[in-house]
Each structure stands twice: as structure tokens, then as C-alpha cells.
Amino acid sequence: MLHTAYRSIVGRLPVSVKAPLKRMALTIVGSPSVPPQLTEPTNPPPVDLVKSRIEFAESYFQYARLEIPRWAHHSRENDNFTYDLTEQSLDYLAATVSTVTGAEIDIIRSYLEEPEADLSDYLCPRAAALPIDKPTSFGRRLGWYAIARAMKPRVTIETGVHFGLGSVLLCSALRRNAGEGYAGKYYGTDINPDAGVLLAEPLNQYGKILYGDSIASLRGIDETIDLFINDSDHSAEYEGQEYGLVESRLSPKAIVLGDNSHVTNELFKFSARTGRHFLFFKENPKDHWYPGAGIGISFPRD
Ligand SMILES: C[S@@+](CC[C@H](N)C(=O)[O-])C[C@H]1O[C@@H](n2cnc3c(N)ncnc32)[C@H](O)[C@@H]1O
């Protein structure tokens, strides 16, 4: 009704007056599910065409919709979902990591296969008591792993660890790297004192979790950082603060990953300001309604 009233009153005004009024009106009533039309279409499409258009558009979402009841009835997860990536998404992830690190794509593909083999026996019993459906279905985190394997970081930081799926994966990469002669250590940060329960012997030999606000924890790490992953407080302001804080401590080869880049452009802005490349990998979950997030990747220019 508000939109009908808006159209009848504002519709007659010139555009220069109408546009700011429209912006103001939307801040009050919120964006409608059907955008308001300032003028009625002169030739409205026939009803059959409208119906077939709706069917066509909805067909794009049908597969995801079918997954919703399965998740609603059977999943133990309400957030931080676990899922595999589609084959195509894995191909694109391998190509993205190869581009960023300069490593051959076949090497990256072999890295992407390591976690399942290395971590099934470790993770499945430990995750059994937690609300995690598929503990070895790491989704986009596989990209974090492959980057850690390819670049052999000496210091890796992940802000926001939750149960510790990323911690386990990154420490597992450091264990493999150490076996190849490249030592490295991991710091995770989390404000929740119960976070990181999955990081245990023997993987906790490669890193530890710092409890408390991430910004405070980052201030206490006085080391040069090779790999930084932001995944804590997902507000744009907090994310930007984290990047600003680590900026002066990044090594020349450092890679910064953002788990929030599908929502904010903070890592994009950080990359532009510091003269770094920026890429975004969009993940595509397999057999899950969740449309997927992605990996923002900030890396040095040669
Ligand atoms: C999306 S989860 C992290 C997921 C994790 N990286 C993984 O791989 O599964 C976000 C985490 O950030 C933590 N967090 C939120 N605000 C924080 C803050 N200000 N400082 C530190 N951790 C924070 C939450 O407790 C939560 O565990």
C-alpha cells in the first residue's frame, strides 16, 4: 500500500525531485520484494509470458530448493556449513591458486586431494559429538590449504576459528610442509573460549589458538606474517581494522585471504590502497542449498 501511495504522489514529480525522494522513501519502508515502478509499462506483457518468465527464472533455483527439506530435517548444522565443491568449482579453485602462487596446476590439484586422505581418521571421531555433518568436506577452505602448501608460510594467522576446521586444515598443511623441510607455525584467534576444540595432538604441535578479541590478539603477535586469513567478526569495519593492523607486518610474499569478500569490498580496497593484486574465487557447493561464499585473495605484484 505504501508503494501505491508513493507512486501516486511522487510519480508526477520531475526526476530531479523524484530520485532523492525515492532513496529517502526506501530507507524508511525498506526495499520492496517487487521494486516499485515509477511509471506503468505502456505495453504490459501478456499474462502467459509473465507466467513462463517466472517459471524460467525459478528453474534456476529449483535444485537448491530441493536441498532445503533434506537440510531442515536431517542436518545438525545451523551455520558454518560443511559441503564438498562441485568438480567445476574444484577445477576453478586449482586454477585460481595456481595463478596466485605460480605453482603448476597439477601440483595444486595434488594438494587439494591431501586433506581427505590425511584427516579422515583424525577428524571423524573428534567431530562426531559436534554439530558438523561432513567434517572432511572443507568447501572453499581447501583453497586456504592449497595456498599454504604452495607458498610454505613461516607464520600463518587465521582470525575466527569456530570449531577449528580451518585450524586443523592449516596445521595439516604445515605438517606436510615441515616434512618437506619448510617449518611454519599457525596462530588462530577467537573470542569464544570454547572455540578450536578440533585442534588437538598431534596437529597442535604446529600452532595454537589465542583467546580474546582478535584485534587485541593480533596486536600481541610481533612476527612477520606470510599468510593471513580473516574470518572473525564479519562486519566491514572490523574486517578493515584487521587488515590495517597486519599491513605493516606482512612479508614481501604475503598473501591475505578474506572469508568475507562475498559480502564486503574491504579486502579489495586494502589491495588497491597497498598496490596489491586482488582476485575473488566464488565457490559452488555440491548438493547443498547454500549458494556458497568465496575467497578474497590479496597478493603481491611481482
Ligand atoms: C565463521 S566462524 C570461523 C570459521 C572458521 N574459520 C572455520 O574455518 O570453520 C567465525 C568465528 O569468529 C569468532 N569471532 C567473532 N567475533 C570475533 C572477534 N571480535 N574476535 C575474535 N573472534 C571472533 C566467532 O566466535 C566464530 O567462532
CA distance 181 to 257: 24
Q: What is the arithmetic mean of pLDDT over 19-45?
A: 55
In the beta sheet, which residues pair with residue 299? 277
226 phi/psi in degrees, rounded to 5: -95, -35
In the beta sheet, which residues pair with residue 208? 187
Give residue 41's pLDDT. 76
Give residue 38's pLDDT. 64
Q: Whose CA is closest to atom 25 on ligand 1?
A: 192
Question: Which atom of ligand 1 approaches the CA of 232 most closely?
Answer: 12
141 touches ligand 1 (CB under 6 Å): yes
Q: Is the pLDDT of residue 266 over 60?
A: yes
Q: Is the peptide bond before 202 cis (omega within 30 degrees of 0)?
A: yes
From 9, 24, 40, the end of a domain falls on 40
Q: Does residue 83 fall inside a structural domain?
A: no
| Residue 14: alpha-carbon gap to chain centroid | 43
Question: How many residues would you count in the chain?
Answer: 302
Same domain, 123 and 232: yes
143 touches ligand 1 (CB under 6 Å): no
Q: Is the pLDDT of residue 3 over 60?
A: no
Compute the distance from residue 231 Cα to the ligand 1 centre, in Å: 6
Same domain, 35 and 117: no
Same domain, 121 and 260: yes
* Domain tally, the chain: 2
Domain residue limits at 232: 90-299
Give residue 262's pLDDT. 98
Compute the distance from residue 220 Cα to the ligand 1 centre, in Å: 18
Same domain, 34 and 121: no
CATH of residue 266's domain is: 3.40.50.150
Compute the distance from residue 45 Cα to the ligand 1 centre, in Å: 48
Same domain, 184 and 35: no
Same domain, 31 and 169: no
Q: Whose CA is closest to atom 5 on ligand 1?
A: 161
Helix H or strand E segment including 236: helix 236-246
Same domain, 235 and 144: yes
